[in-house]
Amino acid sequence: MTIDKTVPSRRTTIEDVARHAQVSRAAVSKVLRDAYGVSDDMRERVNRSIEALQYRPLISARGMRGRTFTLGVAINDPANGFITEVLTGAASAVEGTQFQMILSVLDDQFGSSYRAVESLYDRQVDGILAVSPLAEPEWLEGMARKVPLVQLGVHDRSAHHDTIVGNDVEGIRLMMRHLMDLGHTRIAHVTHTDPSWIANPNRPHIMREHEYRRIMAQAGLTDEIDVIPAMFEDHATYLEMRRRFAHGLRPTAVLGGNDDAALGVMRAAAEFPDLDRLSISGYDDAHFGGHPRVGLTTINQDGRQMGRRAVQMLLERIEGRTESRYVEVPVRLVTRTSTFAPG
């Protein structure tokens, strides 16, 4: 049998593939859907033609037939080091499968997740991973009734979607114990500024702040509590901390709410010679923290594992699992050179 190897100059259609492979259109459709009952010979012949013709199925057409083999990922800050780790882990989970990931990013730091998640749903993705979504829990519940959904980062339990989080309370306990064991009592905490309408007490930065306050009060250090609202972003934190330092703020240690914030504190402190002994810690263990010129003491919650596990759970939901799961990833203290005894 001679197979025509001429590649059409226009967009290849499923009919072109069928003609090239000398099979029916229905046979090609079955191969694309990985349907039951397709022989190995038929699958190989169709796949050879798909490769030769560089055929790319229209997502909209695949959606009408069933699966689109796409997973949507909604994120709020592509520059965030932890989110980079999550995406790396998520990508590893789709390797060797038919699925591809597409991203939807919020318009700005204070944008809601509604538009980002809805745009993915409108594109008929088979499932959605929402990373630290800025959305009301009730709204996410409604979306999860329409499409398989896994939410990463917010400690909300759900009847309709899965949740995966790090143990934020334990992470702050570990870091505060480390700083206090070094002898620090004047410990400031940099936290994130959320839009007032989304001040969900189950969001990680709010839980971290509450635990910081509790530990300081329990240690009899209520007068030393200093919470600095900034953003979990290097430059914004740098600007706020530079302003605070210029106005006389002089803690012996700063607990950054995440690693990006800690990096901003480092940049600001570098402009004040008398802050050369300021201990600075972060949270997340983003890859840059391990650089020897940074040496950031931080809390590791294994973003890659979280991203990988989140996608695995999403694929399970797409395959038909309906019971909800709540997964809490263990955390651990990583000590490097950015924290030391005061003096």
In order of their start, the domains of the chain are: 14-57 (1.10.260.40), 70-166+303-328 (3.40.50.2300), 168-302 (3.40.50.2300)
Q: Where residue 3 falls among pLDDT bands split at 50, 70, 90?
A: very low
Burial string for 133-166 (b: 16+ CB within 10 Å, else e) reads: bbbbbeebeebbeebbbbbbbbbbebebbbbbbb
Question: H helices then E strands: how many in the chain?
Answer: 12, 12
Residue 5 and residue 52 in contact, taking contact as beta carbons nearer than 8 Å? yes
When pLDDT is averaged across residues 201-228 and rounded to a whole number, the result is 97
* Cα 271 from Cα 315, distance rounded (Å): 48
Whether pLDDT at 196 is above 70? no
Beta strands in the chain (DSSP E): 70-75, 100-105, 127-131, 149-152, 162-166, 187-192, 226-230, 253-256, 279-281, 298-300, 326-329, 332-334
- Distance CA(171)–CA(328), nearest Å, equals 12
pLDDT digits (tens, 9 = 90+) for 33-82: 777 678 888 889 999 998 888 887 655 454 444 688 999 999 988 888 89
For the stretch 79-116, pLDDT in tens is: 888 999 999 999 999 999 999 999 998 765 556 678 88
Q: What is the pLDDT of residues 296-332, one digit of tens each?
A: 999 999 999 999 999 999 999 999 999 999 999 999 9
Distances (CA, A) of 166 to 103, 143, 153, 206, 299: 22, 23, 7, 14, 10
The whole-number pLDDT of residue 197 equals: 59
Q: What is the pTM of this model?
A: 0.80
Instruction: For residues 222 and 251, give the distance between their C-alpha atoms in angstroms, rounded to a whole number.
Output: 14
Q: Which helix (H) or strand (E) holds 244?
A: helix 234-246
**Is residue 12's pLDDT more than 90?**
no
**CA-closest candidate to residue 192, choices 244, 292, 264:** 264
- CB 310, CB 328: distance < 8 Å: no
Strand partners, 128: 72, 149
